[in-house]
Copies of this chain bind each other. A is one copy, B any other.
Amino acid sequence: MHEFGFIDWLRKRQTPGHQTTIGIGDDTAGFRFSPGCDALITTDMLLEGSCFLLAEAGAEAVGRKALAVNLSDIAAMAGIPKAALISLALPRKKGAEIAQGLFRGIESLARDYEVEIIGGDTNSWNGPLSISITLFGESTAKGPVKRSGAEIGDVIFVTGPLGGSILGRHLNFEPRVREALQLHRAFDLHSMIDLSDGLSRDLGHICEESHCGAEIWARELPITPAAQQLSRQDGRTPEYHALHDGEDFELCFTVSESVAEQIRKDPMWNCTAIGRIQKAEQGIRLLDENNQWQPLEAQGYQHEFD
């Protein structure tokens, strides 16, 4: 409903080479999904002051992140991203400048992942910046990978090092869309999730939906230099940061032992085995740096409000 040349602005900047939309009008976009696929739909809202500091991050990085977190959600299902809608509440002051920065960030990432911007809703108000992106994707012919398919004995992998994202990577991470599609094509992935709220919490989602437990091997965790740096600052171990920090946006997936062997022996996959799916009764346990078993409590980001 509320547009002021936003769609015109977008039309001029639309990712070239995409002819998936049918032109219908400014308020509603038409989209033809591939026959037989599941349409995958995800939405994320980023809020100034709560999710980012605009003055610190800059509008371009915020725009990029707003799309990237949605791409990560589609990657978590090994889906193919297709099209996005962008809703903005812009502060009245410098609204146009902020919008242009946001779109630069969105557009650059949209081009990389062949995502078409098919519409949105742009408003200005007296509040802070709020950006909400809804992203559509399609499942591949093999179908989507779910959180609920982990099996006892599965090996748990992550696609990259973890922890300390707050030092910068949370703004410029690369969503693991291509890695997910390659893994899904090559192997039978039993379950997958993207690590947005911290490994301890997100692994809990897999265990809950798959009705299983898990063990994590602290010594095997791949750890970022940023987690090492945070560790020196706050005295927590680097493993603590790898286990609990949010916004890594790596993928965590589980596969059978035989698939795990293939992934381990081929360095092109660049994935690290960090644990194993266990019976539900065992809960989620950590084999710590001192080879002691302890319960692994979720301590990642928990959203709260009154």
Interface residues of A (CB under 8 A from B): 1-4, 22-33, 35-36, 38-45, 47-51, 69, 73-74, 76-77, 79, 83, 85, 87-90, 92-96, 118-128, 130, 132, 134, 136, 139, 144, 146-148, 193-194, 196-197, 205, 209, 302-306
Min C-beta distance of A52 to chain B, whole Å: 11
Oligomer copy total: 2
Q: Decide if the interface of chain A is mainly helix, strand, loop or mixed.
A: mixed
Does A41 contact B118, Cβ atoms closer than 8 Å? yes
Residues of B within 8 A of A122 (CB): 303
- The CA-CA distance from A205 to B197 in the complex, in Å, is 44
Instruction: Identify which of B85, B193, B196 contacts A41 (C-beta below 8 A).
Output: B85
Assess the A43–B85 pair: CB atoms within 8 A. yes
Could you tell me the distance in whole angstroms from the C-beta of A116 to the nearest C-beta in chain B? Answer: 11
User: Once the chains are docked, how many angstroms separate the CA of A81 from the CA of B25?
Assistant: 17
CA distance A47 to B224 in the complex (A): 40
Residues of B within 8 A of A134 (CB): 41, 43, 85, 87, 134
Q: How close is A102's CB to chain B, nearest CB, in angstroms?
A: 13
A45 touches B123 (CB 8 A): yes
Interface centre among A49, A90, A130 (most CB of B within 10 A): A130
How far is the CB of A169 from the nearest CB of chain B, in Å? 15
Give me 11 A-to-B residue pairs in the complex whose CB atoms sit less than 8 angstroms apart, sorted by A's number.
A24-B77, A27-B76, A28-B79, A30-B139, A31-B39, A43-B121, A47-B127, A50-B125, A87-B134, A124-B305, A130-B130
A94 and chain B: residue at smallest CB distance: B306
Q: Is the CB of B148 within 8 A of A49?
A: no
A242 to chain B, nearest CB (A): 19
| Cross-chain contact B28 with A38 (CB below 8 angstroms) | no
CB distance from A165 to the nearest CB of B (A): 13
In the complex the two chains form, is A31's CB within 8 Å of B25's CB? no
Q: Which of A3, A31, A39, A77 has the most CB of B within 10 A?
A: A39
Decide if A205 touches B26 in the complex (CB within 8 Å).
Answer: yes
Q: Which residues of B contact A69 (CB under 8 A)?
A: 1
Q: How far is the CB of A82 from chain B (nearest CB, A)?
A: 10
